[in-house]
Structure 1
Amino acid sequence: MNQWKNFSKGFLKENPVFVLLLGMCPTLGVTSSAINGLGMGLATTFVLLMSNMVISLVKNQIPDKVRIPSFIVIIAAFVTVVQLVMQAYVPSLYKSLGLFIPLIVVNCIVLGRAEAFASKNNVVSSAFDGLGIGLGFTFALVLLGGIREVLGSGKLFNITIYSENYVTLLFVLAPGAFIVLGYLIAIINRIKKN
């Protein structure tokens, strides 16, 4: 039951984007479409899951003086795996996400979960925590990217919803990310109060 609690908190109670306001750089930078949000979210989820598990396994062997650099090396190894796999199998998504993939290494969500949770808990709890936070992050990116894509291009996952004659280009540009994110945070806060 405790694992379910670790898993589910990432969606609303501790959602990295809507509640904790972490990871804003990739959130605002890559969510011009739902596909980009899904790709970035799943890449981050994989890194969170794997790095949480490994850090939980080796936490007692890492001296306190080199704890954070050690965590970064572990995280960087999994980011490299994600980067190479994406480059080989989904090159168009890899090109679209660009610099944001290597920046997962220093994403405060990943390093924060490593420090706050994985370094203090067992492997199973750390895996559920990483998966829950990662999927919550993915949910937020897909939601934000989907809304921006529909409003800005009339499409969702590249499927035409309505004519381009009625789109508002603002939503696929940088200011649109801030506008949609602001409204989503307000809606989430309203839901949490009720």
Structure 2
Amino acid sequence: MNHPSYRELSINGLWKNNPALVQLLGLCPLLGVSNSTVNALGLGLATVLVLSCSNIAVSLVRGVTNTAVRLPVFVMIIAALTTCIELLMQAFTYELYQILGIFIPLITTNCVILGRADGFAARHAPLLAGFDGLMMGLGFAAVLVVLGGLRELLGTGALFANMQLLFGPLASDWQIVLIGDYKGFLLAILPPGAFIVLGLLIALKNRIDEHLAERANKVEQPQAPAPNRRVRVTGVIE
């Protein structure tokens, strides 16, 4: 079996095969909690931890699980890790946990995590599986944070509000007001705004990919040699 390199896994997770922009997986939490940066970052970090740890665990037990019970075992592993994250958030970031609500337990059924567990971790070594989970999780979290930041900025004119919910009192003054006396744009922080902003991000990524492909084609195509031109000189003798 040909094992992908760490560079390939990084590029696939962060860009080429990004779970949110390319595979369009996990859209329920992606659109549901991305109305602010702190919500998006909190759920993104939780997803990264569950995805990385579940990939390692699935890779470790892949040789001792029967194919008939493979998926139930994977779901139980993911559910156990999600419960651990949920208990940690209840202990240290309880207010943020209350805001995220049902979307924390729903990490168990996130298609990104189930897909990587069955499609990659069950076929590769633990180190490679864990790195793949880390990159896929970071790619998903990055889109989540960008989406949350854009919606927060468009909706309130500020960024990084209420970051103390995740990082404690130290982050109480992290808010940056970029547009003073902003009246607010309600659509941006409502669910339809999430669909619109996500669609724009997908369109932007596709346009960048097209531009990079065009540049690569121009570089690969050899330049045709200039045609030989014969110049005929005619003289007039009087």
TM range (shorter): over 0.9
Report which of the two has the higher share of helix: 1
Unaligned runs of 5+ in 2: 162-174, 212-238
Unaligned runs of 5+ in 1: none
Separation in 1, partners of 2:22, 2:197: 15
Q: CA deviation at 1:9?
A: 1.5
Which amino acid in structure 1 is aligned with residue 21 of structure 2?
F
Report which of the two structures shows the higher radius of gyration computed on alpha carbons: 2
Q: CA deviation at 1:3?
A: 2.0
Separation in 2, partners of 1:96, 1:76: 20
From 93, 96, 99, the counterpart of 1:96:
99
CA shift digits 1:120-141 (9 cap, x unpaired): 0001110110000000001000
From 73, 81, 87, the counterpart of 1:78:
81
Q: Which residue of 1 aligns with 2:35?
A: 32
Which amino acid in structure 2 is aligned with residue 127 of structure 1?
G
Which amino acid in structure 2 is aligned with residue 4 of structure 1?
R
Separation in 2, partners of 1:75, 1:149: 31
1:36-51 correspondence to structure 2 within 5 Å: 36-51=39-54
TM-score, structure 1 length as denominator?
0.97
Q: CA deviation at 1:29?
A: 0.2
Q: Over aligned residue pairs, what C-alpha RMSD do you find?
A: 1.1
Percent sequence identity is 49
Which amino acid in structure 2 is aligned with residue 178 of structure 1?
F
1:1-194 correspondence to structure 2 within 5 Å: 2-158=5-161, 159=175, 160-194=177-211
| 2:156–2:182 contact (8 Å) kept in structure 1 | no
| 1:34–1:142 contact (8 Å) kept in structure 2 | yes
Separation in 1, partners of 2:134, 2:16: 15
Separation in 1, partners of 2:182, 2:47: 35
After superposing on structure 2, the runs of 4+ consecutive aligned residues of structure 1 that deviate more than 2 Å are: 163-167
| 1:3–1:124 contact (8 Å) kept in structure 2 | no
Q: CA deviation at 1:90?
A: 0.6
TM-score, structure 2 length as denominator?
0.79
**Number of residue pairs the alignment of both structures matches:** 194
Q: CA deviation at 1:164?
A: 4.9
Separation in 2, partners of 1:110, 1:11: 15
